[in-house]
Amino acid sequence: MAKEKLIQNINSTTSIVNNAFSLAMATLTAGASFVWFKEYAWQILAGLEILVIFFLFWYFKSNKKELKPNTLSVANINLFEKYFEMKVGLHKEKIDELNDGYLSLYGEDVLNFQVDLVKYTLKADDRTIRTLDLTSNPALWLTRLNYLNINKKFIESGGTILRVLIIDEEKFSDENFAVDLMQLVNKFEDIGVMVGMQFESFLTQNEIQDFISYSDFSVLVEGKQADKNYKKASSTAFFKESKVTSYRNLFQEVWERSATSPSASLMLQRFRKHYSDQKLFSFKEFKQNEKGLYNEY
C-alpha cells in the first residue's frame, strides 16, 4: 500500500515537473521569437508590404480589364467611352449595369445625370435634346429654376431642345391648370426651347411616355415622376443604339404630323389661340371649336 502511494507521488511530481518545463520552454520560445521579431521587424513588414502591393497591382489590373466598356451596338462609341470612364468612379455599384448599356437612377441622381448628359450632348455632332413630357403638374415645373437655367445655358452654347408637353385632358377640370400650362410654355420659349403640345386622346399608348433623348448618345426614360426636390424620382438611362434610335423615332412620331395626330407645334398653336381668346379656359369649348381637328383624327 505504501509502495503504491509512493509511486503515485512520484508520477504526480513528474507530471508537475513536465508541465513546468513545457511552460518554461514555451515562455523562452515566445521570448526568443519576440526578440527575433523585434530585431527583424522592419524586414518582415517590408516583405508584407511588397506582398500587399503585388496583390493590389494584380487586383486592379484584373478589374481594369473587366471595366472596359462594352461598346457593342452603342450608338456613339466615342462619347460613351468618355462617359463610361468618368462614371465608373462615381457608380462603382452600377458598373455591371453601365457595362451592359444602361443605368438605374434614383432620387437626386436623376437630376445630376441630366446635368451630365447635357454637357456630353454639347460634344456630339447633333447637339439636340428631344423630350416627351407627361405634363401633369406645370406649376411644379415652374419651380425648377435650376433645371430651366441648365436648359438655357445649353441653348446659349449652341444646343437645341425640342419638347412636347403631353396633356391628359382631364387635368383641365382644375381651372388653374391651363394658366400654369401657358406660363410654362412661355417660360420654355423665353429660354429658347422649341415647344409643342399633344393631348393623350390623340396618341397611342406607346406614344404616351416620358423620356429625354440626348442626341445619338443616350435616352433617359422616367419611371417615377420627380417631386420638387428630386427626393422621390426614378429613371433608367439607356445607351444601346437600338434603344436610343427607338426613342428618337418615337419622339419624331409625336412631334410631326402622323396618322393619329396633328403636329405638336400645330396643336400648341390652336391651343394658344383658343386660350388667348377666352377669359376662362374651357377644354370642352376648345374641343367644340376644334371639331374639324378632332374629326380628322
> For position 147, which CATH number holds?
3.30.870.10
pLDDT at 251: 96
Q: Do residues 8 and 142 both lie within one domain? A: no
Domain's final residue, options 15, 43, 66: 66
**β-bridge pairing 211-214 and 128-134:** antiparallel
- What is the count of structural domains for the chain? 2
146 shares its domain with 201: yes
Where residue 230 falls (left for φ over 0; alpha for ψ -120 to 50; beta otherwise) is: left
pLDDT higher than threshold 90 for residue 32: no
Output the pTM of the full model: 0.70
- Give yes or no for a contact between 113 and 206, defined as CB atoms under 8 angstroms apart: no
Domain containing 135 equals 77-296
Decide if 159 is inside a domain: yes
Q: 286 and 146: one domain?
A: yes
Alpha carbon of residue 6 to chain centroid? 86
Kindly state whether residues 59 and 163 are assigned to the same domain.
no
Q: What's the grid cell of residue 146?
A: 435650376
List, for residues 76-126, the tens digit of each pLDDT value. Answer: 998 998 888 887 766 566 777 887 888 888 888 888 888 888 988 998 999
pLDDT at 62 (0 to 100): 55
pLDDT in tens, 116-168: 889 889 989 999 999 999 999 999 989 888 889 999 999 999 999 999 999 99
Q: Is the pLDDT of residue 2 over 70?
A: no
What strands, in cross-sheet order, belong to the sheet with 160-167? 102-106, 234-238, 218-224, 211-214, 128-134, 160-167, 194-199
Residue 258, all three cell numbers: 402622323
What whole-number distance in Å separates Cα of residue 286 and Cα of residue 274? 7
Residue 71 counted as domain residue: no
Q: Which three cell numbers stand for residue 127?
A: 447637339
**One domain for residues 27 and 94:** no
The reported pLDDT for the residue numbered 67 is: 59
User: Closest Cα to residue 101, out of 87, 90, 111?
Assistant: 87
Nearest Cα neighbor of 167 from 138, 200, 139 is 200
Query: Region 184-210: what's the mean pLDDT?
Result: 95
